[in-house]
Structure 1
Amino acid sequence: MPAEQTSTPSHAAVDRVTAALAEQGLAPRIVWFDDAVTTAQLAADALGVELGQIANSLVFTLDDEPILVLTSGAHRVDTHWLGEQLGGRIGRASKEVVKEATGQVIGGVAPVGHPAPVRTFVDTDLAAYDEVWAAAGHAKTVFPTTFDDLVRITGGTPTAVEPGRTAAS
């Protein structure tokens, strides 16, 4: 686990995420790391959890519309395949598009706390875990949640993100 903080740090994006979670009836513990955890593996190691429990927040464009894909850290999104499933073409969003769509920077994008709703897809592989961890608006922050709550708070669509996987109900 990360080192205990003697005081709670503050950051505007994390504050927006905390407020958005509270609006959805959630008050999870925001965990602050001493250093940025810029990969799912680093986050899993720091938390002492399985890699698959990390919900990576990836911003893509679907035919020029920003979308958020919350995917298990245990695998990658097959953008070509997923684009076909969604009826369009998926591309990697630029850092400018990520910032504009979410109000957050790459490495700390949370599922919520954005200036406006972002169309969201939630990897069905995350449903295999009782607890998953998502970024909380800054590269040094995460919070625990569940698959069902991720879908609920984001208004997301449960979706397989690579071939051979099935969407959960």
Structure 2
Amino acid sequence: MSLESVRAFLAEHAPDIAIIDQGASTATVSEAALALGVEPGQIAKTLSIRINNEVILIVARGDARLDNQKTKAVFGGRSRMLGAEEVEAVTGHPIGGVCPFGLATPLPIYCDVSLRDFAEVYPAAGSRTSSVRLTPGRLATLTDARWVGICVPPAPAPVPPITAKL
């Protein structure tokens, strides 16, 4: 049903966007990046959180993490991740397939500016094996999302020391 609600949403709002079904799990950022052959940052993860008494969705690059202080400053309250059952109840999507398309309940959607680090990103498409490819700008436009800066990008990998052989 969840994949079908995404299909219906895309058919109405973006018929040019195809659903990519890998036939293998794309439920985690690392699985999705491996299956799609892209960097983990290009996976657009959708976080379901509650702030004060409101549930919102935040779409961010896959390897970024939510910054609690920035989130509190932007939204005026402490964020709390929803449990799996509540996520599925409000979004209509299972964990691992949560996306901002075809939602069971209208929710405010925010795109973190970290997505703009990539020309194309890959959010899930309502199931644990499906995704779509689109630009961050198109993602925000299709979902009527507002841009926020509340995530911390990953730390750069340490550079190994250079050892010279004489």
CA contact (8 A) 2:110 2:148 kept: yes
Residue 64 of structure 1 corresponds to 53
Change (3 A) 1:160 1:26: farther
Q: How does 1:20-35 map to 2 (within 5 A)?
A: 20-35=9-24
Residue 146 of structure 1 corresponds to 135
Residue 147 of structure 2 corresponds to 158
Larger gyration radius, structure 1 or structure 2 = 2
* Distance (Å, rounded) in 2 between the aligned partners of 1:15 and 1:37: 17
Residue 19 of structure 1 corresponds to 8
* Distance (Å, rounded) in 2 between the aligned partners of 1:20 and 1:55: 18
* Distance (Å, rounded) in 2 between the aligned partners of 1:139 and 1:156: 23
Q: How does 1:12-161 map to 2 (within 5 A)?
A: 12-161=1-150
Shift in Å at residue 157 of structure 1?
A: 0.9
CA contact (8 A) 2:112 2:151 kept: no
Change (3 A) 1:33 1:159: same
Q: How many pairs were matched up?
A: 153
Counting aligned pairs with the same residue, the percent is 32
Q: What's the Cα RMSD here?
A: 1.6
Which sections of structure 1, spanning at least 5 residues, go unmatched? 1-11, 165-169
* Distance (Å, rounded) in 2 between the aligned partners of 1:26 and 1:74: 29
TM-score, normalising length from structure 2? 0.85
Match of 1:71, as an amino acid? A
The worse-fitting range, judged by mean Cα deviation, of 22-31 and 84-93 is 22-31
* Distance (Å, rounded) in 2 between the aligned partners of 1:72 and 1:19: 25
CA contact (8 A) 2:42 2:115 kept: yes
Match of 1:94, as an amino acid? G
CA contact (8 A) 1:66 1:97 kept: no
Which sections of structure 2, spanning at least 5 residues, go unmatched? 154-166
Match of 1:108, as an amino acid? G
Match of 2:70, as an amino acid? W
CA contact (8 A) 1:80 1:90 kept: no
CA displacement, residues 60-112 of structure 1 (integer Å, 9 cap, x when unaligned): 11112111010101211123431222111210111222112111111101211
SS in 1 for 2:65: coil
Change (3 A) 1:80 1:92: farther
Match of 2:67, as an amino acid? D
Shift in Å at residue 163 of structure 1?
A: 5.8
* Distance (Å, rounded) in 2 between the aligned partners of 1:83 and 1:94: 20
CA contact (8 A) 1:133 1:142 kept: yes
* Distance (Å, rounded) in 1 between the aligned partners of 2:58 and 2:14: 22
* Distance (Å, rounded) in 2 between the aligned partners of 1:85 and 1:100: 26
The worse-fitting range, judged by mean Cα deviation, of 75-84 and 89-98 is 75-84
